[in-house]
Amino acid sequence: MTSRQKGLKKSLVALGMVAGALAVSASNAEAADPIKIGTFLSVTGPASFLGDPELKTLELYIEELNKGGGVLGRQLELVQYDVGVDSKKAITAVKRLVSQDEVDVIIGGSTSGATMAVVPIVEKAEVPFISLAGAVAIVEPVKKWVFKTPHTDKMACGKIFEDLQSRGLTTIALISGTGGFGKSMQGQCTKLAPAYKINIAASESYGPKDTDMTAQLTKIKGVDGIQAVVNTGFGQGPAIVTKNYRQLGMTAPLYQSHGVASKKFIELAGDAAEGVRLPAAALLVADMLPDSDPQKPVVQGYSAAYSDAYGGSVSTFGGHAYDGLQIAVAAMVRAGSTDKEAVRNEIEKTSGYIGTGGVVNMSEKDHLGLDLSAFKMLEIKDGDWSIVR
């Protein structure tokens, strides 16, 4: 550790001393040196279900790009640090990425915690940074050097409310897990509800390890005029909520979040999952998309490439990394260099990029660039997804 710190100090000093010299020789060095893409992900630990597919995706596509001659005639090099779910490790990793490894762009940050912890560093170092984490706080308010690819829980609320409106339902109940994801989405939905003229008549919560939610649901059942119930949560909780919901004979439409958009949810909730609706990324239903959908070839292509290379099925999380890499590479190509300011400006100008997450149109005011069309509203029918049109 101490030798590393020494090394860091040394390189910082060196950086200061030869800054001028570097600026002069930069154009010469560029031709031969690889383009460095830095990343810090939760490859191990409790959030490894995020970081693992993200890293695999980056490795897969960087190798592919290099086989095709690289970008701007230069090869790509991935510099990666595994930070688990430790924000301190993320800070150390990003400091090394910007000062020691001198990466050209950073794509990473599996969790919102890690991302938010490193924002001040990348803002100060002025390195383009595309985050792969969910929280809306990453891009609201807009930070000059920070972008992100995944959908936000605010968008999920919006998508659900849009669907409620189209069904003429206005009075709803929320039931939320007290884990980070459930709590955050509950807050976003509560804030967003008035804009859609949705009245939240009851709001209940349950612990992340709770195994019986009949008490909470019975309370909701006792409130008059509830037309639909929205469950914000992650993991096994929503499956138990769904089972309890049917047990209590509740018939109002039940909505789940994009947090449970996986086949596992259907498996756990069984027959009780029939009729449940939830917003999800197009990647999940790649083969069910109509041929006219511009995302279809993209998500099918990524899905096939990932499964071929690593086996198993794709997750939306790997897709976020795919989108981040493609956006960064396209920006470099448009900028014609890896000049950080130019690349940042080009990332901000990304428009009409069709990715796994949706169609991305960024702007000065929007460093995410997705609208509600990025989510598909799914309904579970006969133990499988179906797209609600």
Least distance from C-beta 58 to another protein, angstroms? 24
- The answer to the question of residue 236 lying near another protein (CB under 8 A) is yes
- The answer to the question of residue 218 lying near another protein (CB under 8 A) is yes
Inter-residue long-range contacts of 384-389, CB under 8 Å, 24+ positions, other chains counted: 384/266, 385/280, 385/284, 385/285, 385/288, 386/288, 387/285, 387/288, 387/289, 388/163, 388/277
Least distance from C-beta 186 to another protein, angstroms? 12
**Binding test (CB under 8 A) with another protein, winner from 126, 267, 341, 384:** 267
**Binding test (CB under 8 A) with another protein, winner from 66, 75, 205, 227:** 205
- The Cα–Cα gap between 76 and 41 comes to 18
Q: What part of residues 156-185 is at the interface with another protein (CB under 8 A)?
A: 178
β-partners of residue 175 are 204, 231
Nearer to another protein, 74 or 246 (CB): 246
Tell me phi and psi for residue 80, to 5 degrees: -125, 145
**Binding test (CB under 8 A) with another protein, winner from 167, 219, 263, 381:** 219
331 CB neighbour count, 10 Å cutoff: 25
- The answer to the question of residue 274 lying near another protein (CB under 8 A) is no
225 CB neighbour count, 10 Å cutoff: 11
CA 200 to each of CA 7, 125, 203, 215: distance values in angstroms, whole numbers, following the listed order: 56, 44, 7, 19
Nearer to another protein, 178 or 300 (CB): 178
> Where are any strands of DSSP class E within 298-374?
351-354, 359-361
- The Cα–Cα gap between 91 and 291 comes to 44
**Binding test (CB under 8 A) with another protein, winner from 240, 331, 335, 374:** 240
**Binding test (CB under 8 A) with another protein, winner from 39, 216, 231, 356:** 216
**Binding test (CB under 8 A) with another protein, winner from 129, 145, 161, 206:** 206
Q: Name the residue with tokens 């595994």.
A: 82
- The answer to the question of residue 212 lying near another protein (CB under 8 A) is yes
Q: Which residues bind another protein (CB under 8 A)?
A: 178, 204-207, 209-212, 214-216, 218-219, 222, 235-236, 239-240, 243, 246-249, 264, 267-272
